[in-house]
Amino acid sequence: MNTAGTDAAKPTVVLGVTGSIAAYKAADLTSRLVQAGVEVEVIMTASAMRLVQPQTFLTLSRRPVVTSLWEMPDWQPGHVALADRARVLVVAPATANILAKMAHGLADDALSTYALSHHGRVVVAPAMNPRMWQHPAVQENCATLRRRGVRLVGPARGHVACGEDGVGRLAPIEEVLAAVLEELG
């Protein structure tokens, strides 16, 4: 991951985008963070790329988007170099899958590998079907993450894409943004 062209005066946030239908809302979060003077480095999962294109985040962040562990433009491990300068990792939307990976230390893609190397603050904004959110495994994974100091924002109650109502919607972007800016201090 080439860091040329970054502004050292700006705080760096890594935004992990996962395969929830709410992935399109991460574009708004990217735009708002950039407007707030934050450098945003986006890491997308393969499932996220089925819902929204990396070009969207490239344009909004003005930074290359990481989509694979295997396509690094530099000699050094990109996730480690990025972890040296990123102050906050925010995963929005955070699927049940990424919550499980983060809780159990699994690292099988660029985002989960980065999450293990990140040593700054972590904010996750879950988004999933209400029945998935209520599942004991998801709740235990979230409890594990909270014990480790991860800040959860949401999910919110409301109508979700599959047609159900309940707790599972991505928290309003304003709430996620406020949490990230607070963690930046």
What is the pLDDT, as a whole number, of residue 84?
Answer: 85
Question: Which has more pLDDT, 101 or 73?
Answer: 101
What is the pLDDT, as a whole number, of residue 78?
Answer: 55
What span, in angstroms and rounded, lies between the C-alpha atoms of 57 and 42?
7
In sign, the C-alpha dihedral spanning 117, 122, 123, 127 is positive
In sign, the C-alpha dihedral spanning 176, 151, 90, 153 is negative
Q: Tens of pLDDT along 103-132?
A: 999 999 999 999 999 999 999 999 999 999
Of the candidates 52, 51, 30, 25, the one whose C-alpha atom is nearest the C-alpha of residue 42 is: 30
At which residue do the structure tokens 């599942």 appear? 135
What is the pLDDT, as a whole number, of residue 75?
Answer: 44
What is the pLDDT, as a whole number, of residue 73?
Answer: 53
Domain covering 12-184 in this structure, CATH number? 3.40.50.1950
Look over the chain and give the mean of its residue pLDDT values, rounded to a whole number. 91
What is the pLDDT, as a whole number, of residue 31?
Answer: 98
Question: Which residues are marked as active site?
Answer: 162
pTM for this structure?
0.91
